[in-house]
Amino acid sequence: MALVLVPIAGAAVVALVVFLLDRLLNLPHDPQEPPLVRPKIPLIGHVIGLLRHGTRYYSMIAEECKQPIFTLGVPRGKMYIVTSPGLIAACDRRSKVVSFAPYVVEFGKRILAGSEHSVRLLSEDLLEEKEEAKGSGGDGSSSSSSLRPETMAAMHRSQAPGEHLDALMRVALRSAATHIDSIIGDAAAQGAAGVPLFGWVRQFMTRAGTDAVYGEEKNPFRDPEVAESFWAVDRDFALLGLMVLPDLLAPRGSRGRKRFFRAFREYYASGGLETASYLIKARYEVNKKYGVSDEDIARFDLGVCTALLVNTAPAVGWTLCHAYSDRALLAELRRGIDAAVFPGGAPQTAAAVDVTVNICEVAEALPLLESFVREVLRVQSNSASARFVLRDTVLDEGGGGGGAGGRRYLVKAGSFLGMPSAPVHSDEAVWGPTARSFDPTRFLPERQKERKVPASAWRTFGGGNALCPGRHLALREIMSVLVIMVLRFDLEPCEDGGRWEMPAKRHHISTSILTPVDDIRVRVRPRKELARVTSWNFVWEPTAPKE
Ligand code: HEM
């Protein structure tokens, strides 16, 4: 009898220990908070889920619990996950309290390895009350009075539609077109094995983006070693973020980071600023105003390059995969682009022809272009919109979309709040029955009129006062490369008899666009029917507004 009781008593002790630990490690849950989702394995189930599935875990839970917002308890903390557009909009409206700022500070400390002084400057006025006192207008348009918001205001100002963005695009296009040409003209570089599509795109987008921002003349990325160093940092992003023995745990990333910082110190020391874009000049001015050292300015540039490159490069890769893997879509895009560039048909003369293409005009003539790119960004987005709750606050869904009308939820100070794009991007209540399929016409103006999707449901560029300031530049860059490629080249996978197979995807910690698990090797060939064109010039010049 006593022997029978041993396992029962053992199980009771385990249950008691788990119960006590649960009480001790998990924070109490107020009924006004979003519903609590209990993990299958007590205490650490959600942590295991997140480690195993990455941000996909949020979608898995969202699908099971079907709540507009829910709470995941983790040891000594809690995470609120928001999936309804109405509540996302509510968080965006309170973005000073449900804040992105603490992550900017952590990024400055862990990845940019900023000095204590600069990290302190970044963490000043987290609630942006100084700004409020002056009567701010929100997403960077305000007159702010601390380093972090003022830097973001400069980022928004320098990339808003207008002369500064046009200047960035001028250089980006010139540089992208030149670097695309250099590989096409170099048969040896392509070889029989072709080029790795995502790797190749990353190479020319890295150069185009940084030429635009830092100026072609002194851009540190002219040195391939600096580009390699940058991408080594990105590869080791998570390990560097731990701040534990980086030279040992992440030797390539750590070496790359030092090399990057050196290159950027030299850039400023050798007068790089004079040839830089307005974006870099405006940032420099703000940094100097707040007493950031030259050493730290060079470190902050690692942040600029991360924001500039890590999403745009894979987004261009996916855009080309989607365009070329669907013959009917490719034919339609090509028909529209050809018609806009050669209204009288492809040049047939014996003489060589120079062609200038204004991509802005092409995009206006062919709305499918932007609709298609937005759809690529919808399905390939994996943004987390991570926030930290700085004060207890009540979120009111306000009946604004998502269908759960007007419920209120308390979120507590000190908690993580995420608004991952994946669940909301695949929600049939928002996008209709085709939510999970790829539809390049989804964002055409006439389709948008048919089905009103709340603005807060398209999360590719985030929202609130963390809304991506580079979104206009990114969209223009992606559309431009698409036009250049579709107009000029045929792309064919080297393997599987030329059949396109979409690469599997995975999440990478630094990016909000999914990463391909494996690259795909392609052959790039100029279109035969345009052989007469010997010189191409691509520009993005906004047309005069219509009367
Ligand atoms: C396809 C390309 C891009 C995607 C998908 C993307 C996406 C995002 C997302 C999701 C966020 C966070 C928003 C949030 O949490 O609500 C963000 C922030 C940011 N992005 Fe982008 N981005 C892209 C390109 C760019 C470019 C070209 C730049 C130019 C420098 C840029 C600069 C930034 C900056 C500085 C922030 C931080 C904003 C802040 O702290 O307030 N991004 N981006």
Q: Tell me how far the alpha carbon of residue 306 lies from the centroid of ligand 1, in angstroms.
A: 9
Tell me: ipTM over 0.90. Answer: yes
Residue-level pLDDT at 24: 62
Beta bridge partners of residue 71, listed in sequence order? 36, 80
How far is Cα 274 from Cα 253, in angstroms, rounded to an integer? 30
Which ligand 1 atom lies nearest to the CA of residue 279? Answer: 30
How far is Cα 320 from Cα 342, in angstroms, rounded to an integer? 22
Do 290 and 121 meet the contact criterion of CB atoms below 8 Å apart? yes
- Using DSSP's 3-state secondary structure scheme, residue 288 falls into helix
Residue-level pLDDT at 403: 46
CB of 493 shorter than 6 A to ligand 1: no
Mutate which of 316, 379, 468 to test ligand 1's pocket (most atoms within 8 Å of Cβ)?
A: 468
Residue-level pLDDT at 509: 85
Residue nearest to atom 40 of ligand 1 (CA): 466
Residue nearest to atom 28 of ligand 1 (CA): 470
In eight-state DSSP terms, residue 48 is H
CB of 104 shorter than 6 A to ligand 1: yes
Q: Tell me how far the alpha carbon of residue 377 lies from the centroid of ligand 1, in angstroms.
A: 13
Do 514 and 310 meet the contact criterion of CB atoms below 8 Å apart? no
How far is Cα 394 from Cα 91, in angstroms, rounded to an integer? 10
Nearest to 411 by CA among 150, 98, 53, 11: 98
Residue-level pLDDT at 136: 43
CB of 237 shorter than 6 A to ligand 1: no
E strand intervals along 75-227: 77-82, 98-99, 195-196
Residue-level pLDDT at 449: 86
Residue nearest to atom 3 of ligand 1 (CA): 311
Nearest to 466 by CA among 104, 222, 113, 41: 104
How far is Cα 374 from Cα 443, in angstroms, rounded to an integer? 7
Residue-level pLDDT at 401: 43
Q: Tell me how far the alpha carbon of residue 146 lies from the centroid of ligand 1, in angstroms.
A: 20
How far is Cα 212 from Cα 127, in angstroms, rounded to an integer? 33
CB of 122 shorter than 6 A to ligand 1: no
Residue nearest to atom 38 of ligand 1 (CA): 466
- Residue numbers of the chain with a pLDDT score lower than 70: 1-26, 131-144, 185-191, 350, 399-405, 545-547
Q: Tell me how far the alpha carbon of residue 515 lies from the centroid of ligand 1, in angstroms.
A: 16
Q: Tell me how far the alpha carbon of residue 72 lies from the centroid of ligand 1, in angstroms.
A: 26
Q: Tell me how far the alpha carbon of residue 466 lies from the centroid of ligand 1, in angstroms.
A: 8
CB of 74 shorter than 6 A to ligand 1: no
CB of 420 shorter than 6 A to ligand 1: no
> What is the tens place of the pLDDT at every residue in 216-256?
999 999 999 999 999 999 999 999 999 999 999 999 999 99
Q: Tell me how far the alpha carbon of residue 311 lies from the centroid of ligand 1, in angstroms.
A: 8
Residue nearest to atom 13 of ligand 1 (CA): 462
Do 330 and 323 meet the contact criterion of CB atoms below 8 Å apart? yes
Q: Tell me how far the alpha carbon of residue 85 lies from the centroid of ligand 1, in angstroms.
A: 19
How far is Cα 224 from Cα 447, in angstroms, rounded to an integer? 44
The model's pTM: 0.92
Contacts of 262 (CB under 8 A, 6+ apart): none
CB of 168 shorter than 6 A to ligand 1: no
Do 250 and 261 meet the contact criterion of CB atoms below 8 Å apart? no
Residue 274 has, within 13 A of its CA and on its CB side, a CA count of 4
Residue-level pLDDT at 84: 94
Residue 424 has, within 13 A of its CA and on its CB side, a CA count of 32
Q: Is 468 annotated as a binding residue?
A: yes
